[in-house]
Amino acid sequence: MPTLKIDGIEVTVEPGTTVLQACEIAGKEIPRFCYHERLSIAGNCRMCLVEQEKAPKPIASCAMPAADGMVIKTDTPLVKKAREGVMEFLLINHPLDCPICDQGGECDLQDQAMGYGRGGSRYQENKRAVTEKEMGPLVATSMTRCIHCTRCIRFVTEVAGVAELGATGRGEDMEVTTYLGAALSSEISANVIDLCPVGALTSKPYAFTARPWELRKAESVDVMDALGSNIRIDYRGREVMRVLPRLNEAVNEEWLSDKGRFSCDGLSKRRLDKPYVRKNGKLQAATWPEAFAAIAAKVQGLNGGEIAAIAGDLACAEGMTALKDLMSGLGSANIDCRQDGAKLPAGSRAGYVFNSGVAGIDQADAILLIGTDPRKEAPVLNARIRKRLLKGGLRIAAIGPKVDLTYPVEWLGNDATAVAGICNGAHAFAEVLKSAKNPMLILGQGALARLDGAAVYSAAKAIADNCGLVKDGWNGFNVLHTAAGRVAGLDLGLVPGQGGLDVAGIQSAAQSGQVKFVYLLQADELDTSKFGSAFVVYQGSHGDAGAHRADVILPAAAYTEKDATWVNTEGRVQLARRAVAPPGDAREDWSIIRALSEALGKKLPYDSLGQLRRRMLELAPHFAAVDRLTPAAWNVATAPGTIDGSWGFVYAVTDHYRTNPIARASGTMAECAEVARTGSVKAPEKMLVATNG
């Protein structure tokens, strides 16, 4: 391991470490624009110059491997002068438009110009101007500001896996662009906004709305998919202005899906801000007591079997705890959190979480995807699989309809019986799994939300047993969820109790008149026309499918408006902090249910979030381990069944940008969906200017 001296501090680093990384280990900050630890090294901005003893001139520390005996100096006059020279060159063509630039206040170039910039320019000539570029509905461009660090090109090519950005021309004429102004097709494209060290790529929906110093910040968790990406909500007053990713190596690294980032404009549209009660077939605004009275009048006299509740994709753990307690108070066992009908077992935790952890993907050497399209279901997780694949030594195969996952996959056909074939060893890929050191399978909801889902599930479980996916210190049986609330729901036991009905059962019983009262907690992604003449209460944040069918609407807070607990697909318990207040009369899920319980005469025994969380811990003790992964014991019981090979898998997420009420209310997501639907290539005439020579 090389040992080198940095400003007199001796550090020993791993072989392959760059001088820049060694400097950071020694606690020396090196300015940089092009270097980024998660991207390949470009070495083209030259801002990271340091002095190396016995070297004739300053070296670019980001591209120089640390070697034994190196003596590096980072704060000599030579280094300062060299960096000032680089900065002066960068600023020759950089416009002086900081006052109107969205990056202002959080701009690397601005910050580093404070340290290395000259007071004035020695340059008399005109600055370069670049024609506007089009990159789709999310990324606003102002390419005159570009300093050609190529971070965006490297991100899109390496991490996102869609080589759609490039640099045309050369020298002073170099321009970063997509092919003829096509929109970026990646689901994580907007991360280039964070990566851009200047204001060349900025957020289109957030453009000119706020300055970073006006914003207050709340740490939260993304609920647009089940990955639970860590986010920071930037808000001003009562409005969420933007959502940014937070670093969490174990979950999302530092990326965030476009949906998680830009669906926030849906938080202020189509909101339910007061209770509604249906009178004479029409929903009419009401007060909370009126709404509760209407519900109480209906529930009066019903027995437990006539009452049912369904928790949806965006239901938080607190709300579901209260709902479960309310339902047991009413004597009903008809409760379910699997509104898509996925045949997931509750009971054993290892049976429904992503056991290896998202970080476990980095160790996997064989992956089998069963009925899942991770690119659409969890784009950031898909980027992690891609990263692992690029490192080499990974076999990856998939059963399901062919899609572009941004990396090559061995397609084993869309034949559900192939799952059985692998589990009894008849299929060749079984050998690959058996001989792998850390094999894993990823089971999608598309494989489970079908009539024979239980059979597919038990075959997948058999693969885990037969092919050595579960061993000491490794559990490669992974379920990829699509709903942010699902794992918490299963953890808390929101599944039919003794003799209870599941979602399909509730719907058919409602149609036959056996179930007379249905409580929908944030449940919109199911066929709401199938509740017959049952009395439907919808509690949720948006006027979506559930609210349209409802007889009583109870307005609830969205995920940015409450302190809530979310459990991601790995089973990682994460806390989200409240950023803004809910609109109008809307309240947090649990407090609505708590208030309703009193009106129904079944008062729940908690008056505060703290008391509720203590109750939550009784139901699921592992909720105490916040942010940590607790390995679950592998004792999953399955029911044998026959897989119906006559129809293939259908992925759980087909319309990626419209999977939940918030995304459906978002104008930005609608634009993204439109671009994804119509195909991205469009050629704006303005960039096609004929010039030669």
Partner 1 sequence: MSARHPAPKQLQPTSFAFSAANEAEIKKIIAKYPAGRQASAVMPLLDLAQRQHDNWVPLAAIEHIATLLGMPYIRVLEVATFYTMYNLAPVGRNFIQVCTTTPCWLRGSDQVLDACRSSLGIGPGETTKDGQFTVIEVECLGACVNAPMAQIGDDFYEDLDTASTTKLIEALKRGETPKAGPQSGRRSSEPLSGLTTLNAGGGGE
Instruction: List residues near partner 1 by CB under 8 A.
Output: 163-171, 173, 175, 177-180, 683, 685, 687-693
- Residues in CB range of 621: below 8 A, 6 or more apart: none
Concatenating the DSSP letter of every residue in 547-602 gives HHH-SEEEEB--GGGS-EEEE-TT--EEEE---SPPSTT-B-HHHHHHHHHHHTT-
Nearer CB in complex with partner 1: 581/681: 681
| Shortest reach from residue 166's CB to partner 1, in Å | 4
Residue with tokens 């199911």: 526
Start-to-end CA distance of the chain, whole Å, equals 52
Nearer CB in complex with partner 1: 60/165: 165
| Shortest reach from residue 688's CB to partner 1, in Å | 5
Nearer CB in complex with partner 1: 96/688: 688
| Shortest reach from residue 624's CB to partner 1, in Å | 48
Nearest to 376 by CA among 650, 137, 153, 645: 650
Phi, psi dihedrals of residue 441, rounded to the nearest 5°: -120, 150
Segments of 402-534 assigned E as strands:
410-411, 439-444, 470-471, 474-475, 477-480, 517-521
| Shortest reach from residue 404's CB to partner 1, in Å | 13
β-partners of residue 567 are 573
| Shortest reach from residue 202's CB to partner 1, in Å | 21
Nearest to 141 by CA among 92, 83, 181: 181
Residue with tokens 């109480």: 296
Task: Please give the structure tokens belonging to residue 14.
Answer: 């791993």
| Shortest reach from residue 153's CB to partner 1, in Å | 9
How far, in Å, are 257, 290, 339, 444, 454 from residue 353 at the CA level? 21, 41, 17, 11, 16
How far, in Å, are 29, 56, 81, 111 from residue 76 at the CA level? 14, 15, 9, 20
d(CA 279, CA 290) in angstroms, rounded, equals 12
| Shortest reach from residue 146's CB to partner 1, in Å | 13
Nearer CB in complex with partner 1: 184/327: 184
Single-letter code of the amino acid located at 318: E
| Shortest reach from residue 126's CB to partner 1, in Å | 13
| Shortest reach from residue 145's CB to partner 1, in Å | 16
Nearer CB in complex with partner 1: 77/171: 171
| Shortest reach from residue 133's CB to partner 1, in Å | 12
- Residues in CB range of 339: below 8 A, 6 or more apart: 310, 311, 312, 313, 483, 503, 523, 525, 526
| Shortest reach from residue 193's CB to partner 1, in Å | 19
Nearer CB in complex with partner 1: 22/165: 165
Nearer CB in complex with partner 1: 152/295: 152
Nearer CB in complex with partner 1: 129/633: 129
d(CA 14, CA 312) in angstroms, rounded, equals 48
Sheet strand arrangement including 216-221: 216-221, 230-236, 239-245
Phi, psi dihedrals of residue 279, rounded to the nearest 5°: -125, 130
| Shortest reach from residue 182's CB to partner 1, in Å | 9
Nearest to 130 by CA among 100, 172, 163, 164: 172
Nearer CB in complex with partner 1: 200/309: 200
Nearer CB in complex with partner 1: 152/503: 152
| Shortest reach from residue 328's CB to partner 1, in Å | 56
C-beta separation of 405 from 434 below 8 A: no
d(CA 4, CA 2) in angstroms, rounded, equals 6
Nearer CB in complex with partner 1: 147/552: 147
Nearer CB in complex with partner 1: 192/294: 192
Nearer CB in complex with partner 1: 130/385: 130
d(CA 491, CA 622) in angstroms, rounded, equals 9
